[in-house]
Amino acid sequence: MFASTILVGQAGSAPCSNKGSTLSVTAAALRPADVLLAITRPRAGEMVTEVMPSQSVTVTVDYWGPRLVAADQAHNVDEYHLVFFLDTDDAAYVGSLTPAPRCTARMLHSASPSATFDHVMRGSHTVSVMLVGSNDVSVNPPVAASITFVATDTGS
């Protein structure tokens, strides 16, 4: 069984809630004009050396678009944030009206263009990221990126 913890430089740990925004909108926010999203680190196919002892991997994206806002601070459905996925199929969420869940160690909702996944085991991994509205639903049409990388031991 795979267990992971996600850190984003936030102090303390608040109780997890699967609800980000207080908005009850079930429609997807429209894709912003001229938005760009690409995963820049790790690079596709890259061999990533784990940082011991935490074995963490930081995922960084190049994002161009409207300002990112934490869902719990959003007032409108078209205030956007990113959802990072580690080894989780994002097909159920990209381009659908299904909100990306919270409270799972393999998905991170963030208003930051980077996220750190801890306790990443050696081997092949897939990282995906998508742009969502404050209701955690993929924008329409979708904006998403995905890459595969390999985590190796330090000194390998």
**Which CATH number do you get for residue 137?**
2.60.40.10
Query: What is each CA distance from 112 to 2, 14, 17, 53, in whole angstroms?
Result: 25, 18, 19, 25
Predicted pLDDT of residue 7: 39
Whole-number Å distance between alpha carbons of 63 and 40: 10
Give the rounded percent of residues in the chain with a pLDDT score beyond 70. 79
pLDDT at 3 over 50: no
Report the DSSP beta bridge partners of residue 37. Answer: 63
Does residue 144 belong to any structural domain of this protein?
A: yes
Does residue 12 belong to any structural domain of this protein?
A: no
Single pTM value for the model: 0.82
What digits encode the pLDDT tens for the residues 101-113?
Answer: 988 888 999 999 9
Does residue 79 belong to any structural domain of this protein?
A: yes
Count of domains observed in the chain: 1
Does residue 18 belong to any structural domain of this protein?
A: no
Whole-number Å distance between alpha carbons of 77 and 71: 9
Does residue 130 belong to any structural domain of this protein?
A: yes
Domain that holds residue 136: 32-152
Does residue 23 belong to any structural domain of this protein?
A: no
